[in-house]
Amino acid sequence: MRPLITLVCAALVTVSMAVPSAAPGAEDPSQPADVLVSRQLAAQANLRVGDIIMLSEDQNGSRPRRFRVAGVYEPTPDPMRFAAKRLEVRLHLPDLISLTADPSDPASTESVSALNLALLDADDASAVSSTIAARMPGLVVRPATRSTDEGEVFSVIDRFHRAIAIVTLLGSTAFLLALMVIRAEERRDIIGILRLVGISARSVFTEVLFEGLFIAIAGALLGVGIALLGEGLVNRFFQWRYDTNLIFVRVTSRIVFESVALAIPLGIAAGLAASWPLFRRDVVSLIRR
Amino acid sequence: MTSRALAWRTVTARPARAALAITGVAVIGALLFDMLLLSRGLLVSLRDLLDAVGYDVRVVATDTLPDIGIPIAAASKLVAEISKLPEVEEVAVVRRSRVTVSVPGRAPVRAALVGVSGTADRRAWRIARGRNLSAFDGAASGPPPVVVSGDLAEALGLAPGSTVQLRGRVAGAASALPPVGFEVIGIAEFDVEAGDGFVAATTSDGFLRVQAQGESDDAEVVLVLSRDPFGAEAAAAAIKRLRPDLRAYSNEQLVDQFNRDGFAYFRQISFVLSAITLGFAFLLVATLLSVSVNQRLHEVAALRALGLTRRRIAAALVWESIWLVASGGLLSLVLGGVLALELDRILRAMPGLPERLHFFVFEPRALVLHVALLAVTALGAAVYPVWVATRLPIAATLRRETIS
């Protein structure tokens, strides 16, 4: 027995410019109209191109209509609802209207959830939106290319991530300083001996500076490597977890630059701060005599 | 001397190192604590908000967001039908819109206008000053009543008895709707507020006058209070049977749905960051202890030569780890509390959030989990140093120390 698929949300249906008489389903009433199903729905319901399915407006399966699966499509990833299961079917608008129209309400064939407009000049989107909204109070009109709320949401998420990054930076600075202090204590005798054999404090300081620089560069590069590895792992895991092509983590060149630009001075500064007390002591105390 | 006292002396012998280690654990622990608060904070806050309104079932037309969703047509008829259900105790209609509020001598501000029916005002907000809508006894021909939020009253200098002008707003365009005069009868604390920040509430009649929709009977949402002993689930099911074209959700179902869909991002980031911070704390303490033990191998060998058992040496190292992690962990609670306030403030800047919705909410469960995770970290971090210290060859180590 064929599975009965229920339309989940009418708002997912694309708007077709075809007039009812030109719709595929209307050309030959004996042939089922074509629909597209999302990859996720095709996988869940085990659908293939050419299969005949039944669609109904409600979960009870009342007034079902036959359709033919003409293709399987990959839904455009949406970061605002990446966790939602994309069980979707796309119909031609006349087919959807005939499927959902209330026979007792003639006006129901004139109702749609949304209209998509293609403008001659995309730069006119704001002006057209304002004009339509002014003429039709109560209608929500907004440019498709710019959603202020969504932009604001991701701007807030960005600030949130930056705040967490600052906290992580503080924690890792403390970690780094603690390690450098231990390392400086280990080198106390060596620095004392170097000073005793005649190497100037300035030369030893320069050596410590360059050592810190090399360690910081190596650490920063290792960090970038771990981030790149993490990028692949996180993306693969969450793409598998939510069955989506959405990119969750992207290590951009700007992020790499910011990280390296922060890590290197921080590493050098931590090394110098930890070693600084050793350069202020006299040689005798360094070798514990 | 006990192992605990020995560990304490070892930690305090190098105060700079100990202070840095504790600081590192405190900062990382604070982040861990916050991620634990975040892992369920929004759900707990949302459930509190929904419950605080006093209705346990919500009926909407579609699954889409309120601002772009299709309104429920013929709401009065729907309310009458739902009221007859045996599972239902009380029904209220809620309408929302955007308005501009103005008073003479001050710049107008934008606000969300909520229109409620009947006695829903008793549940939807708390009156801080003045009267509620259901207690309004003004003349029907006079200005309709309005209750405003505290911040709106402060911004426009409003008090019970003030009059304000409300004008309906049209998205993206100048509004041609006429302004309507209202009498402020109360200042209220709203539980569920729209994202405009400022909120005003009025009766259904006042709401329709602002929208110039005298005949409109649409509603954005219908709130239902279920009757005992049926409960919210049964009431929602009954409404779905009555009107299969509408969506009816109990508060529990809404929270579950939100947990599955809308909350996924915060749940995942909380999990990922908790794992990273735990790993970081483990690495920090384990590295410091390992390096510290390697520096003190001769001390450990000498203590063993004096007769201290492996067990006491191991206990001293475990205590050293516990001192560092416990001190940092205690500090992390304070730091985490402060950090949570700041992170919550950042996230609450998202548009459209109710005023009292929070992302970081304290639960005893989070504290218990935090302590347990840090305890496991402290014990885990001590494993390798303990292994090194207890398997130390005493004579060879002392000899090596003497020669070097």
Q: What is the pLDDT of residues A146-204, one digit of tens each?
A: 555 666 778 888 888 889 888 888 888 888 888 888 878 777 778 888 888 888 888 88
Specify whether the CB–CB gap between B325 and B381 falls below 8 A: yes
Torsion of CA B210, B214, B215, B220, to 10 degrees: 20
Quote the ipTM score. 0.70
Question: Do the chains contact at B17 and A242, CB–CB below 8 Å?
Answer: no
Amino acid at B396: A
Q: Chain A contact for B139, CB < 8 A?
A: no
Of the candidates B272, B288, B347, the beta carbon closest to that of A160 is on B347
> What is the separation, in whole angstroms, between the first and last Cα of chain B?
30
pLDDT-based confidence at residue A17 (cuts at 50, 70, 90): very low
Residues 6+ apart with CB under 8 A from A197: none
Q: Which residue has the higher pLDDT, A81 or B319?
A: B319
| CA distance linking residue A235 with residue B279, whole number of Å | 20
Answer whether B216 touches A (CB < 8 Å): no
Is the separation of the CB atoms in B115 and B221 below 8 Å?
Answer: no
List chain A residues with CB under 8 Å of B67.
140
Beta strands in B231-354 (DSSP E): 247-250
Kindly determine whether residue A182 and residue B288, on different chains, have CB atoms separated by under 8 Å: yes
Q: Do B31 and A168 touch (CB under 8 A)?
A: yes
Residue of A nearest to B336 (CA): A167
User: Which residues in chain A have Cβ-Cβ distances shorter than 8 Å to B280?
Assistant: 168, 171-172, 175
pLDDT band, residue A113 (cuts 50/70/90)? confident
8 Å CB contact of B172 and A141: yes
Q: Do A171 and B350 touch (CB under 8 A)?
A: no
Chain B residue with minimum CA distance to A165: B31
> Residue A60: closest CA among chain B residues belongs to which residue?
B244
Would you call B313 an interface residue with chain A, using a CB distance cutoff of 8 Å?
no
Residue contact A164–B30, C-beta within 8 A: no
Q: What is the pLDDT, as a whole number, of residue B65? A: 46
One-character DSSP codes across A115-177: -----SSGGGHHHHHHHHHHHSTT-----TT--HHHHHHHHHHHHHHHHHHHHHHHHHHHHHH
C-alpha–C-alpha distance, residues A31 and A19, integer Å: 18
By the CB < 8 Å criterion, does A83 face chain B? yes
Main-chain dihedrals φ then ψ at residue B183, nearest 5 degrees: -105, 125
pLDDT at B127: 83
Classify A9 as helix, strand or coil: coil
The two tokens of residue A54 are 């039944």
Return phi, psi of residue A120, to 5°.
-65, -40
Cα B155–B220–B91 angle (5° rounding)?
A: 100
Task: Give the other-Cβ count within 10 Å of B278's Cβ.
Answer: 19
Q: What residues in B contact A156, CB-CB < 8 Å?
A: 346-347, 349-350
Bridge-based pairing state of the strands B199-203 and B109-116: parallel
Distance from CA of A31 to the nearest CA of B (A): 29
State whether residue B67 sits within 8 Å of chain A by CB: yes
Distance from CA of B325 to the nearest CA of A (A): 13
The answer to whether B257 faces chain A, any CB pair under 8 Å, is no
Distance (Å, rounded) from C-alpha B246 to C-alpha B240?
A: 7
* Residue B158 near residue B184 (C-beta atoms within 8 A): yes
pLDDT of residue B216: 64
A134 vs B67, B173, B351: nearest CB: B173
Distance from C-alpha of B328 to C-alpha of B334, rounded to nearest angstrom: 10
* pLDDT-based confidence at residue A282 (cuts at 50, 70, 90): confident
Report pLDDT for B330: 93
- For A40-56, what is each residue's pLDDT tens digit? 899 988 999 999 998 88
Q: Which of A160, A193, A241 best probes binding to B when mutated, by most B CB atoms within 10 angstroms?
A: A160
| β-sheet with A33-38: strand ranges across | A4-6, A52-56, A65-73, A33-38, A89-90
**Residue B261 near chain A (CB below 8 Å):** yes
Q: Which residues contact B256 (CB under 8 A, 6 or more apart)?
A: none
CB nearest to A58's CB, from B172, B244, B272: B244
Biggest CA-to-CA distance, chain B: 104
The nearest CA of chain A is from the CA of B161 a distance in Å of 31
Q: Indicate the SS3 state at residue A52.
A: strand
Tokens 């509190």, located at residue:
B48
- Cβ–Cβ pairs < 8 A, chains A and B: 122
Among residues B45, B358, B353, the alpha carbon closest in space to that of B197 is found at B353
Q: How far is CA B300 from CA B10, B123, B289, in A?
A: 12, 68, 13
Q: Is B280 within 8 Å of chain A by CB?
A: yes
B288 touches chain A (CB under 8 A): yes
**From A141, which residue of chain B is nearest by alpha-carbon distance?**
B171
pTM of the model: 0.70
Structure tokens belonging to residue A65: 């209509």
Residues 150-179, chain A: which have Cβ within 8 Å of B?
Answer: 152-153, 156, 159-160, 163-164, 167-168, 170-172, 174-175, 177-179
Q: How far is A129 from chain B (nearest CA, A)?
A: 7
For residue B20, give the nearest of A142, A163, A178 by CB distance: A178
Distance between CA atoms of A141 and A132, rounded to whole angstroms? 7
B64 vs A11, A59, A82: nearest CB: A11
Which residues on chain B are in Cβ contact (under 8 Å) with A170?
27
Interatomic CA distance for residues B60 and B58, integer angstroms: 7
Partner-chain contact B173 A130, CB within 8 Å = yes
Q: Are B82 and B224 in contact (CB under 8 A)?
A: yes
Per-residue pLDDT of chain B (404 residues; tens, 9 = 90+): 687 888 888 888 888 888 888 888 898 899 899 999 988 888 888 888 888 777 889 888 876 544 445 678 778 888 888 988 999 988 888 887 788 888 888 888 888 888 887 666 666 677 888 888 877 766 666 788 999 988 888 888 888 988 998 888 765 555 566 788 899 999 988 765 444 468 888 887 888 888 766 556 778 788 888 988 888 999 999 998 888 888 889 988 888 877 776 677 788 888 888 888 888 888 888 888 888 788 788 888 888 888 888 888 888 888 888 888 899 999 999 999 999 999 999 988 887 677 678 889 999 999 999 999 999 988 898 889 888 888 888 888 888 877 76
Q: Sorting pLDDT into bands at 50, 70 and 90, what band is A18?
A: very low
Q: Which of A7-21, A267-281, B190-204, B302-316 has the lowest mean pLDDT?
A: A7-21
Bridging pattern class, strands A33-38 and A65-73: parallel
Q: What is the pLDDT of residue B356?
A: 75
Q: What's residue A63's pLDDT?
A: 79
For residue A70, the model assigns a pLDDT of 94
Longest pairwise C-alpha distance within chain A: 104
Residue A10 has pLDDT above 50, yes or no: no
Residues of chain B found within 8 Å of residue A138, distances taken between Cβ atoms: 170, 211
- Distance (Å, whole) CA B198 – CA B33: 32
What is the reported pLDDT for B138? 62
Which of B107, B92, B109, B63 lies closest to B207, judged by CA?
B92
Interface membership of B339 toward A (CB under 8 Å): yes
Asked if B351 and A152 come within 8 Å (Cβ–Cβ), the reply is: yes
Pick from A259, A199, A197, A194: nearest CA to A227:
A259
Of A83, A159, A171, the CB nearest to B264: A83
Sign of the four-CA dihedral A171, A172, A173, A176: positive
% of chain A exceeding 70 in pLDDT: 84
Beta-carbon separation of A168 and B245 below 8 A: no
Q: What is the pLDDT of residues B162-219, one digit of tens each?
A: 899 888 876 555 556 678 889 999 998 876 544 446 888 888 788 888 876 655 677 8
Hey, which residues 4-43 in chain A have their CB within 8 Å of chain B? Answer: 9, 11
From A81, A159, A238, residue closest to B346, measured CB to CB: A159
User: For position A102, what pLDDT does the model report?
Assistant: 76
